[in-house]
Structure 1
Amino acid sequence: MNNKISEKYTPIIKHYNYNVNTKNEIIKSNNKFIVRYPTVYIIIDKAKKDKFKAYVGETNNIIRRTEEHLKNESSDRTDWTKLNKSKNAEIIVIAHKEFNKSLTLDIENKLMQYLLSDDSINHLNNRRSNDQDLYYTSQDCQKIFSSLWNKLSEDNNELFPDVQDIRNSSIFKASPFHKLTEEQIDAKDKIISKIRDKVNQKYTENNLVIIEGSAGTGKTVLLSSLFAEINENIDLPESYLLVNHNEQVEVYKNIADKLEIKSKQGDDIVNKPTKFLNKHSKSDSKVGIVMIDEAHLLLTQGKQAYRGKNQLSDIINRAKVVVAVIDPRQVLTSEEYIESDQYKKLISDAKENNNLVELKQQNRIQANIHTINWIETLISKGKIDDIPYDNKYEIKVFNNPFKLYKKIKDHDRQDENIFKGLSRVVATFDWEYKNKSPENNDYWRVNIGDNFSLPWNLELPINKNYKHLPWAEQPQTIDEVGSTYTIQGFDLNYCGLIIGPSVKFRDGKIIYDPKESHNNNAKKNRTLSNGNKVDVSQNLLNNELNVLMKRGVHGLYIYAVDKQLRDELIKRAGKNNLLL
C-alpha cells in the first residue's frame, strides 16, 4: 500500500546536456509526459569550484522553450550568453502525469525557495514568485515536491542536499519565495501600489509606509518578498533593505548575492541602519526605496557610530519611500525606546495618509485561538489563566529545568526537525554574560540550583563550517541557552523557555524586578523628549518575555525560577499539560 501511495507522487526526472542538440535528445526520449505535458526544468552550470549557477523555469512545451533559451535570449541577456556558451551545462526536466499550469508554477516556486537555501548554488536566475492559490491537485503539491527533491538528492546530494539542511537554514526561513497568506498578498499589493504613487511624486511628503504586526504575523516574510519583487521590476527604483542584527544582515546579503540584486551606487544594498546613514549622509541625494525590518529597533538617540537623534527620521530624509516594519512590543533597549505619544503619532499619521498596513493573522504559532489568547493575556495583562488544551500546540510547565532541557533535546532529533525545524532552550537575560576571554576559566552560564548549568549563547566552540550561520542553526547550540539577542526574529519548532528571577508572581499578577535582570541595556534610564529621565525597564522586560514566548511554532515548554510564578503555572497547567 505504501509503495502505491509513493508511486502516485513520484515524478519523471530526465537529465540532458544543455546545448544545441538538447531538442533532439528530448525528442528521442519519446516520453509523452516530458514532450507533451507541462514540465518544470532546472538548468545547471558550474560557476567555480563546488559552486553552481541555476535557472529554474516551467513551460507547456519544453522543446520550444529550450530553443528559445538557446537562440533568442543569448543576444540581450549576459547571464544567458555565458550559460549558452558553457560546455558543461545540464538541463533537468521534471514531469508528472498530474502536472497542470498551476501545479508547475507552484513546483517552480518551491524549487526557487529550496535552491536559494542551497549552499552549492551561488547564483539563481528567474527569481519571480509564482505561488498559486487553490486549484485542482493543489493538495498533492507538497508530496510531489518532496518526492522529486528526494530523488534529485539521491542523484546528486552535493547539489541537492538533504531536506533537513535546507528547511532549517535561516535563508529558507527568510526566503522571498514563501507562499504568502491572503492577508500578506493584500498587504503586498497595497504597498507596491503606494510605492508606485510616491516614487512619481515631485515632493516626498508622507513617504513612510508602516507595516504593523505582533511577533509571528509574517512581517519579515512579506518584506523579503517585497524586496525581491521590487528589485526585479524595471519600472521601480531599487530598494535598499536595512536590518538590525548582524546575523540577519548576512542572511539577506546572501539572498541578494544569489539573486544578483545589487545597488546601482556600488554600496551594499543590504545593510545595518547606521552604516547606511553614514554612506548616504546627504539628504539632498535621495535613494529610491528603503525597507526596514524591525524598525522598532532603530535608535531614538545617539549611540557610538550614530551621531543623530532619530534613525527613522534620518532614513525618511534619505529616501523617496520608506517601508518600515514596526512592533513596539519587541523593543529591548532604552536606546530604542519609543515614547507612547511619538508612536501614536506615527501610527495616526500613517492612518491619515492611508499608509498603514496591519498584519493580524498569527502565522508562526500553529495553535488554536484559545492558546494564542492565553499567551497574549499572560504578556499584556500579567494574568495567568488555565492553560487550554490544544491538539495542535503543546504547552507544558516543568518543575525541573534539566527535564525541560532533556525534552527539548528529544524534539531536536533529526526525524522531527527535518519537517518542523530546530528546537532550542532560551531564557530571560537574568544571568551574567560577558564576552569570552583567555582569562575565563569557565563559560558564562545559566545556573539554577545545584543540578542545572548550561553555557549562555555564543560560548561553546564553533566548528568553522558553521561560523557563518545564525545561533540556532549551529549544532552545538542545542547545549546552550539563547537570549533575545540571538533568537529574536527566528522560529523554533519547540521553544524551551526558562523564565528567570526578574519575572515574578505577586498578588495574583506577573511583575518585573529589574534588580534581578542582567540586561543592562534595558535598565538604563531613558531621557525623554521633554528632558525628563525615566525608568522604562518594566516595559522592556515585559517586551523581552513577549519575544521569547512567541518563538515556538509547535510548542512552548516553561520553567520559572520564581517559586510563586512556578507554582501558579503548575496550578494553571492541570494534569494534561504538566510534565514533572
Structure 2
Amino acid sequence: MELLGALNRHGIRAVHATGSKSFTLTLRDNVEKVNRRAARSFSYFNSYTHATPHDIDVLICDEAHRLRETSDRRRHFDGPRQGRPQVQELIEAAAVPVFLLDEHQLVRRGEVGSVRLIHDAANDMGVKVQQIDLRHQFRCGGCPEYVTWVEQLLGLGWEHGPQPWRPLETFELYVARTPAGMEDFLRAKQDEGRTARMAAGFCWPWSDPLADGTLVEDVQIGDWRRPWNSRAEREKNGVPPSSLWATHPAGFGQVGCIYTAQGFEYDYAGVIFGEDLVWRGEGWQANRQANKDSQVNGAPRFGELVRNTYRVLATRGMSGAVLFSKDPETNHMFERLGIPLLSGRGSRGWR
C-alpha cells in the first residue's frame, strides 16, 4: 500500500490487483471513506483480459501465488480453461508489472502462481525479470523467527521438522486445551483495545443463515459452538459481510476460514486445527475425509495445500497466536514442544 501511494503521489499511474475478493473489497471500503476516486486503483487479476497493452505505468500484483491458469472461469467440454495465460495478460497490461508472492500460501486447487511461472511467461514474451527476495518482513510483528518456526512445524521448506518453542520478546505464542479458553484469551485482548480473530481449517459444514439472518453455529467442539463468518456480501443484523470479517469489529465471535483470513492481519490470531491435519507418531497425516472444502479435498496435492492453509492462519497475528487442535494427540504435541499453556476455561488461566 505504501508503494502504491508513493507512486501515485509522484504522478505515476499505479494500480493494485489481487485474486482475493475479500482483500480487494476491504481495501476499496477503507479507501472510499477518504477518496472515492482512489478506490478505482484496486482491481482483480482477471480484469485485464482486454486491457490496452502498457496502459498502466505500474501494476502491483499482490498475493500473486493466487494467479489462475487463465482469466476465463468457464471450462469447455470439461477440459482445461480456454484463453491466454493470466500471467501474460498482467505482464502486458503495464509498463512495469510487479509480482509479490509467497509460494507457501498456495491453498486452493487451480492456483498456479510461482516464481518459475512468472519467469517462464516473461521469457516467452521477451521481458526482462528482476527478482528481489524480501529477506525482511513485517508479518507477525516483524518476527521471522516465528514464521520459520511455523514452517518447520508444518514441514514446509525446511529439513528439520517441528522444533521446540523458544519464547520471543516480540511475539507471544500459546496453546489452548479448549476452544473456550482460546476465545476467552482473545476476547480479553479485544477488551484491551487490540484486534483478535479465530479461524479454523475447513472441517465443519457451512450452513446457510436462518431466515432472519442468524448464523448457524456449525463449528462444534464438545459443548462449544460458534458460527462461521457470514457468506453474505452485505451487512445484515449487525453481522459484517464476508469481505469485512477480518476488519469489522463485529467479526469477533465468528470463526473465519482461509478465504476470509488470507491477506489480512490482526493483533492476535486464534487457530483451530481440524481433523484434516493430525500428528501421528513422528509426522503429519492429512485426512481428505475430514475436510469439507470441495476446492481442496479433491486436489492431488491435498496434504501440501492443507499444511499451507494452517501456515497462513497461524501467521495472521502481529503480536501473538493461540493454537488449538480438535485432535487430542496433535494438541498434546503442541504442548510437548514447550508452547506455554493458556490460562482460562479448561486450562489453568493466563497471565
Task: Identify whether the pair has TM-score above 0.5, normalized to the shorter chain.
Answer: yes
2:149 aligned partner: 374
Cα distance in 2 for partners of 1:307, 1:273 equals 16
> Contact 2:240 / 2:250 at 8 angstroms: preserved in 1?
no
Q: CA deviation at 1:256?
A: 7.0
Q: CA deviation at 1:540?
A: 1.2
> Contact 1:347 / 1:356 at 8 angstroms: preserved in 2?
no
Cα distance in 1 for partners of 2:335, 2:49 equals 51
Cα distance in 1 for partners of 2:312, 2:165 equals 19
Higher relative contact order (CA 8 A, sep 6+): 2
**C-alpha distance 279-516 of structure 1, shift in aligned 2 (>3 A):** same
Match of 1:550 among 312, 315, 320: 315
1:290 aligned partner: 59
1:412 and 2:185 are equivalent in the alignment = no
One-letter code of the match for 2:65?
H
Q: Percent identity?
A: 19
Cα distance in 2 for partners of 1:447, 1:465 equals 20
Match of 2:48 among 277, 285, 292: 277
Cα distance in 2 for partners of 1:289, 1:368 equals 30
- Structure 2: runs of 5 or more not aligned: 76-80
1:49 aligned partner: none
1:337 aligned partner: 112
Structure 2 length-normalised TM: 0.81
Listed one character per residue, the Cα deviations across residues 433-465 of structure 1 (whole Å, up to 9, x for unaligned) are 24436499961511112x111001116974569
1:427 aligned partner: 200
Cα distance in 1 for partners of 2:193, 2:132 equals 35
Cα distance in 2 for partners of 1:374, 1:578 equals 19
> Contact 1:300 / 1:335 at 8 angstroms: preserved in 2?
yes
Cα distance in 2 for partners of 1:375, 1:393 equals 13
Match of 2:228 among 452, 456, 461: 456
1:384 aligned partner: 162
**C-alpha distance 466-459 of structure 1, shift in aligned 2 (>3 A):** closer
1:502 aligned partner: 276
> Contact 2:187 / 2:196 at 8 angstroms: preserved in 1?
yes
Q: CA deviation at 1:511?
A: 2.7
Match of 1:233 among 4, 10, 24: 10
Q: CA deviation at 1:547?
A: 0.5
Cα distance in 2 for partners of 1:440, 1:257 equals 27
Listed one character per residue, the Cα deviations across residues 194-244 of structure 1 (whole Å, up to 9, x for unaligned) are xxxxxxxxxxxxxxxxxxxxxxxxxxxxxx12222222223x4x1222122
One-letter code of the match for 1:226?
L
> Contact 1:384 / 1:569 at 8 angstroms: preserved in 2?
no
Cα distance in 2 for partners of 1:477, 1:465 equals 7
1:311 and 2:86 are equivalent in the alignment = yes
One-letter code of the match for 2:255?
V
**C-alpha distance 482-372 of structure 1, shift in aligned 2 (>3 A):** same
1:363 aligned partner: 138
Structure 1 length-normalised TM: 0.51
1:538 aligned partner: 303
Q: Which structure: larger Rg?
A: 1
Q: CA deviation at 1:287?
A: 3.5
> Contact 2:208 / 2:216 at 8 angstroms: preserved in 1?
no
> Contact 2:208 / 2:215 at 8 angstroms: preserved in 1?
no
Cα distance in 2 for partners of 1:294, 1:442 equals 30
Cα distance in 2 for partners of 1:341, 1:324 equals 12
Q: SS where residue 132 of structure 2 aligns?
A: strand
One-letter code of the match for 1:295?
A
Cα distance in 1 for partners of 2:242, 2:305 equals 29
Cα distance in 1 for partners of 2:60, 2:22 equals 17
> Contact 1:378 / 1:384 at 8 angstroms: preserved in 2?
yes
Cα distance in 2 for partners of 1:470, 1:571 equals 36
Cα distance in 1 for partners of 2:218, 2:167 equals 34
> Contact 2:18 / 2:43 at 8 angstroms: preserved in 1?
yes
Residues matched between the structures, number: 330
Q: Looking at secondary structure, tell me which structure has more helix per residue.
A: 1
1:562 aligned partner: 327
Q: CA deviation at 1:292?
A: 1.1
Q: CA deviation at 1:389?
A: 2.2
- Structure 1: runs of 5 or more not aligned: 1-223, 526-534
1:255 and 2:31 are equivalent in the alignment = yes
Q: CA deviation at 1:469?
A: 7.0
> Contact 1:491 / 1:552 at 8 angstroms: preserved in 2?
yes
Cα distance in 2 for partners of 1:407, 1:466 equals 22
**C-alpha distance 393-367 of structure 1, shift in aligned 2 (>3 A):** farther
Cα distance in 1 for partners of 2:153, 2:261 equals 20
Match of 1:521 among 272, 295, 306: 295
Q: CA deviation at 1:270?
A: 2.1
